[in-house]
């Protein structure tokens, strides 16, 4: 039995952060009903990462909305709003990421929803919190990265601010929201009462940086200093970074320079002190790079790993996917939606009792399950007024 089997989740969210939280709950066994706008549905359906779509929807939408049912509602119509209110009375979890104030105007803010269903776990993710001068601003990933400080940790010293090449704020906010939802469900099992769970893209990014921000807050407020060459972490000394080899790239993690000097071998490293490893970081990195580039990556791995030097080959996706280590994780699957459209995608990252959740159902078409859901829950049929 899946851990969340029997729980009903209403996913009223769009784009990435909220839907990713609902996806995780679905992976853990919950039933997820995605409530979408009649007609166009979730805007993410047409938010293309490339010019590739699958069955008329973006690959992004397919990735983040697999294993969900779609109920199409026009929340400007009283009869459809009544349908949603009825579902709220039956749900265990509601996920929404409307801009602050929008869901309150629909009459389904936290207080109104709790009055309908005191056991409801009501989860919301915003851009920058529900109050304050940034609350009305668009909660978009790149914009959140830009105000969070994280862009000053990437790239080299002379690069200016460099964003992470992923929708990291959205993904992290979804994970944080999932943690809060699960904690609230545990408490509900004890007290019988629901809860309001909230986070934001900005809070998720601040938490992402907790290690380095703590350093900043306790060393006189000094700004992080990225390396000018092969930067990998603004606060870590040489040799930490990624280096070119004759046929690829090799990553070196933190280690005493003396250990690396003996193993490469590179005796010139012995003249540097532990303090030099940071203060002369670029100089040391260039010295290491000048040595590594003369041999293949496999040569260095065979030499360094037996000496317990922390290192790894830098793989691209094709080589990762072909590796035995990756295949053993069994992280890929092919799902299909109701019209038979196949989508190759990932599986959930969590294993429970040694098993990874599996579901062959892909992301739904807009309103694919509307008629069946209305019949199952005794809701007013499409086009008819609420009772």
User: How much is the pLDDT for 383?
Assistant: 55
Q: Which of 340, 385, 383 is nearest to 361 (CA)?
A: 340
- What whole-number distance in Å separates Cα of residue 175 and Cα of residue 171? 6
Q: For residue range 32-83, what is the model confidence (pLDDT) as tens digits? A: 999 999 999 999 998 877 778 899 999 999 999 999 999 999 999 999 999 9
Q: For residue range 172-185, what is the model confidence (pLDDT) as tens digits? A: 999 999 999 999 99
User: How much is the pLDDT for 381?
Assistant: 74
Note whether 226 and 160 are within 8 A (CB).
no
- What whole-number distance in Å separates Cα of residue 379 and Cα of residue 82? 9
Note whether 240 and 254 are within 8 A (CB).
yes
Burial of 149 (0-12, 13-18, 19+ CB in 10 A): middle
Q: How far is CA 34 from CA 41, 87, 352, in A?
A: 10, 12, 25
Domains of the chain (ranges, CATH numbers):
8-208+329-377 (3.40.50.10540), 241-320 (3.30.1540.10)
User: How much is the pLDDT for 100?
Assistant: 86
- What whole-number distance in Å separates Cα of residue 314 and Cα of residue 344? 24
Catalytic, 42? Answer: no
Catalytic-role residue among 158, 159, 170, 247: 170
Which regions in the chain score pLDDT beneath 70?
Answer: 382-387
User: How much is the pLDDT for 386?
Assistant: 47
């Amino acid at each position: 039995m899946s851990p969340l089997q029997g729980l009903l989740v209403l996913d009223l969210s769009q784009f990435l952060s909220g839907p990713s939280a609902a996806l995780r709950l679905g992976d853990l066994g919950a039933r997820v009903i995605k409530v979408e706008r009649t007609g166009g549905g979730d805007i993410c359906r047409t938010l293309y990462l490339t010019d590739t779509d699958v069955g008329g929807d973006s690959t992004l939408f397919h990735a983040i909305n697999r294993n969900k049912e779609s109920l199409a509602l026009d929340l400007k119509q009283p009869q459809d709003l009544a349908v949603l209110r009825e579902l709220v009375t039956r749900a265990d979890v509601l996920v929404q990421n409307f801009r602050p104030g929008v869901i309150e105007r629909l009459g389904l803010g936290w207080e109104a929803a709790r009055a309908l269903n005191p056991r409801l776990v009501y989860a919301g993710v915003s851009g920058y919190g529900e109050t304050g001068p940034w609350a009305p601003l668009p909660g978009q990933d790149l914009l959140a990265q830009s105000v969070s400080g994280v862009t000053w940790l990437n790239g080299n010293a002379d690069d200016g601010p460099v964003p992470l090449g992923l929708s990291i704020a959205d993904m992290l906010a979804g994970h944080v929201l999932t943690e809060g939802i699960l904690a609230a469900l545990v408490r509900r099992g004890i007290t019988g009462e629901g809860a309001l769970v909230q986070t934001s893209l900005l809070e998720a990014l601040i938490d992402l940086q907790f290690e380095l921000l703590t350093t900043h807050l306790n060393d006189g407020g000094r700004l992080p200093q990225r390396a000018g060459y092969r930067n990998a972490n603004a606060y870590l000394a040489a040799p930490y970074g990624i280096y070119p080899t004759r046929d690829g790239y090799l990553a070196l993690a933190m280690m005493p320079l003396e250990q690396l000097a003996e193993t490469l071998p590179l005796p010139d490293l012995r003249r540097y002190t532990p303090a030099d490893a940071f203060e002369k970081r670029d100089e040391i990195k260039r010295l290491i790079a000048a040595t590594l580039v003369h041999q293949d990556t496999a040569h260095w791995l065979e030499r360094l790993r037996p000496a317990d030097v922390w290192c790894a080959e830098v793989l691209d996706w094709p080589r990762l996917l072909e590796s035995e280590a990756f295949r053993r994780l069994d992280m890929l699957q092919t799902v299909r939606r109701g019209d038979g459209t196949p989508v190759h995608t990932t599986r959930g990252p969590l294993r429970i009792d040694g098993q990874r959740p599996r579901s062959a159902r892909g992301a739904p078409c807009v309103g694919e399950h509307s008629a069946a859901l209305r019949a199952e829950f005794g809701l007013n049929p499409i086009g008819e007024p609420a009772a």
